[in-house]
């Protein structure tokens, strides 16, 4: 089955502390259905310095994975969350928005 949310898709958060925020998918972990989205689910990580790699220590901010069920595709034309449907055209499977049947 094809994935409804893919790399570089614009998504909106449906639940949680970042509800309503949008971001672009940076990384997908298919084995546990987690996604890293830019600017979403920011955590503070206490990191030790590594002099060999010239890496400074301290508290750094980074994006943590969020479950894929808490996200939805963001439709720019309607400016809201949308569902995805699949259709076949000339032997290729293509994704499109369910509300206005526009491919993306």
- Average pLDDT (18-46) is 97
Q: What is the pLDDT of residue 72?
A: 97
Q: What is the pLDDT of residue 1?
A: 52
What gap in Å lies between CA 68 and CA 32, rounded to an integer?
Answer: 9
pLDDT band of 32, cuts 50, 70, 90: very high
pTM (2 d.p.):
0.86
Which domains, from first to last, does the chain contain?
A: 9-79 (2.30.30.30)
What gap in Å lies between CA 69 and CA 61, rounded to an integer?
Answer: 24
- Per the DSSP assignment, residues forming a β-bridge with 61 are 44
What gap in Å lies between CA 24 and CA 10, rounded to an integer?
Answer: 5
What gap in Å lies between CA 35 and CA 43, rounded to an integer?
Answer: 15
CA end-to-end span of the chain? 18
What value does the mean pLDDT of the chain take? 95
pLDDT tens string 54-68: 999 999 999 999 999
């Amino acid at each position: 089955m094809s994935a409804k949310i893919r790399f570089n898709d614009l998504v909106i958060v449906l639940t949680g502390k970042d509800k309503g925020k949008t971001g672009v998918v940076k990384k997908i972990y298919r084995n546990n259905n987690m996604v890293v989205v830019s600017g979403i689910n920011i955590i503070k990580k206490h990191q030790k310095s590594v002099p060999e790699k010239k890496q400074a220590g301290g508290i750094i901010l980074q994006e943590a994975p969020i479950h894929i069920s808490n996200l939805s595709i963001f439709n720019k034309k309607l400016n809201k969350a949308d569902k995805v449907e699949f259709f076949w055209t000339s032997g290729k499977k293509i994704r499109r928005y369910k509300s206005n049947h526009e491919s993306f």
